[in-house]
């Protein structure tokens, strides 16, 4: 298991407020060492929209849904056009849960995906990114500007 160094966790915690400004982006370093661009969804409107209405999304980018507090942060696939993978993380970047190959919602009501316990944030990207980069519960991912 990847062990987080205290200074890296401190950098993550310091970076999150800066990354949370509307329209911001940054980098996520995944367990395999790969760095991917991330779009930060920090406002209620941004988080509600997410990947809706996009015909595609780059395989080398992720979307971080940033929340200021722990909570029930599940997702749905209304108006999405392609399957995704998602990882729910705590405030220190430890992966708490994952969902693979979440399909687009074809008719309402759309199901909710994610753990039924509090998490801080979640990260989503095109289906397959979790396996390609070794993301699994207990692993740590890092954010930076």
Using one digit for the tens of pLDDT, what is the confidence trace for 96-125?
Answer: 999 999 999 999 999 999 999 999 999 999
User: What value does the CA radius of gyration of the chain take, rounded to a whole number of Å?
Assistant: 14
Architecture of the domain spanning 6-144: Sandwich (2.60)
Q: Which residue has the tokens 């909570």?
A: 71
- The pTM of this model reads 0.82
Report pLDDT for 74: 96
Residues 6+ apart with CB under 8 A from 85: 98, 99, 100, 101, 102, 124, 125, 126, 127, 128, 129, 130, 131
Using one digit for the tens of pLDDT, what is the confidence trace for 70-79?
Answer: 999 999 999 9
What are the sequence ranges of the domains in the chain? Answer: 6-144
Instruction: Name the stretches of the chain with pLDDT < 70.
Output: 1-23, 145
Q: How many other C-beta atoms are found inside a 10 Å radius of the C-beta of residue 112?
A: 11
């Amino acid at each position: 298991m990847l062990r987080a160094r205290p200074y890296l966790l401190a950098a993550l915690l310091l970076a999150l407020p800066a990354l949370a400004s509307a329209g911001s982006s940054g980098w996520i370093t995944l367990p395999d060492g790969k760095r991917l661009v991330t779009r930060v969804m920090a406002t209620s409107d941004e988080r509600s929209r997410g990947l809706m209405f996009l015909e595609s999304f780059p395989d080398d980018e992720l979307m971080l849904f940033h929340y200021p507090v722990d909570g029930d942060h599940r997702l749905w696939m209304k108006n999405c056009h392609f399957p995704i993978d998602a990882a729910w993380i705590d405030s220190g970047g430890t992966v708490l849960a994952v969902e693979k190959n979440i399909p687009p919602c074809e008719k309402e009501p759309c199901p909710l995906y994610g753990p039924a316990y509090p998490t801080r944030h979640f990260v989503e990207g095109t289906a397959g990114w979790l396996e390609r980069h070794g993301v699994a519960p207990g692993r740590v991912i890092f954010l930076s500007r």
